[in-house]
Structure 1
Amino acid sequence: MISAAASLGHYFFYLLPGLGLYALWFGLTPRHLVGLRIAILLLGFILLRDVMTPLQFWSLGPGAQIGFIANPLVLAGLGLLSLGTLACLARIAPELWALVVWERRGWLVGLALGLFAGLALGLPLRLHAGIGLEQASGSWLLGMALLALGGNALEEVLFRGLLQGHLEQACEPWRAALLSALAFAACHGFLALSVTGVGWPVLLFTLLEGLVCAGLRLRHGVLAATAAHATVIWLIAVPM
């Protein structure tokens, strides 16, 4: 417990100068500049995500697997922080939150299709990487599930909820979905080419994942996209 709190505290204080600048930039940007405000949120999220690599919270492993810190309390804490960030966003920017379309054609159908899409994307990668359940404890799998759910809910709200929802007001829905997927892959560019050095495989996979999630958002809403994204990440995750 103490180790997890220390790790999360170090993460927060390490981020604080950058997050402070983003918060000031966001707060001073006029509300009618919706596109710029969404861009600021996306850049802030990239900082939150990519700084986890030098802090050794996660890393891209061999094959198609992603290694995450072995402490399940840290994973759970990061997931809860992501959900807390969503709650703050809903409160401080209700005009942006209104862009989020959670479900279309029934939430249960969307959830089922999202889980199926996540399995279709993640299971072949898991089998290719040879990831077995014996590699992780039950508590780690639960912590990882909370991180996958919370972290990817935040990411999907930003890309598929805010960005795609905003773009739909300016262009055809299919074009908004395509732009959302391209933006999602492009925003992994620094991670792929600098932070990890893995390169084009990360960009190719995130483009495919982005297209799937954007299509799910177009037809069934953000809930379906979140289910797909979270399932993929949970399936290819291993403890470091």
Structure 2
Amino acid sequence: MTAEQLKTPVLRMAFARLSQIGGELRGKYLRDMDTIHGGRRTRSEKFTALAKASEQLLLRLDLATGVLGWLDVDRGQYFLNTQCGIAQDSGISAPSLNRLMHGLEQADYVYRRIEKVRLEEKDESGLNLVRTRVLVRFTEKFFIHLGVGYLWYKAKKAALKKRKKALLEVSGQRAARQERASLEELRRQQARRNWEKSEARKAAPGQLEALTPSSYAPGGVKPPYEPDRGPDRPENALARLLRSVQVKKDT
């Protein structure tokens, strides 16, 4: 991945100029960074740090968005590069890189969005630890003042086309995962229903065996079995009534 980015003309030319920004090319490119303090010229430490960190910054640069991060198609997530990792690979301290980013932000060469994420871990005092997450995006002004604006525009256009294909692949994979999850949930529900029916069939014979003589009529005597003849017909009821009247007359 890094080798392919280094072969990009815009990044190759940008690295050639940024690597010398602390020396002979200072004042020729990125002039607004020299005037972030008004009438006082910016200290050379920021340009030296930019020259040292230029390779690692460009290697981590997402051409489609200008953000220091990458899209993981397999996981369907976008990850940001940490400033500590960039500083360590560049051979400078993390505070020096932070001051460099602050200077670039003052010159409107980068945009930073800082978020604080509360962690579940706690310190010795019982307070939750906080992790700072920073999004860094290089602006179009940075590449224009570096003299590679046209090359950046072409590279960004090509990268956006590739990104659209990658996003389609991510959406397809996400839909496939959702479909598999739905089928798995349906299978679990069906298995649960089958298990409940099986347990109900097993419990039915046990309930009949649990009936004891004490649970029958008073005295523990089982009443005689009378088959269910269904609903009585009107003519049968009338015949029984006439027979009962005749019996009373005879008596």
| TM range, smaller chain | under 0.3
TM (norm. structure 1) is 0.27
Larger Rg belongs to: 2
Flag the structure with higher strand content.
2
TM (norm. structure 2) is 0.26
> Which one has more relative contact order, counting CA pairs under 8 Å at least 6 apart?
1
